[in-house]
Structure 1
Amino acid sequence: MVNDSAKNGGQIVSYNWMGRNEASAAKAKDLTITLSASVVFLDGSESSGDKGIVRWL
């Protein structure tokens, strides 16, 4: 991709296509939460994403 300013000696903008963006797949067991629980521990070790897991929140 080249923008209009590149034609006049300006900057050139390039775009590298990294492939199709697939939805992440979360694998988790059924979990029942009884309120007033203040903490829930989830195991996401079997989850995956096409770009890898970027971060856990």
Structure 2
Amino acid sequence: GTIQPVAPTTKSVTLDDGKIYQLSPDASVGKLKVGAKVAVTVDDKTGMVTSIKKAS
């Protein structure tokens, strides 16, 4: 999806599908830019993002 707002204080990122993805507390959000196309992998048990990679 395409990154919409990034919330550094809550460690979450919203994609253009409207879903809010929760990042781990130690995640660095500095490289996440609004408008970037990414692929997000989520842990089914915790619901936390395990990886965000640039989509091609």
TM-score normalized by the length of structure 1:
0.19
Select the structure that is richer in helix: 1
Larger Rg: 1
Q: What TM-score results when the alignment is normalised by the length of structure 2?
A: 0.19
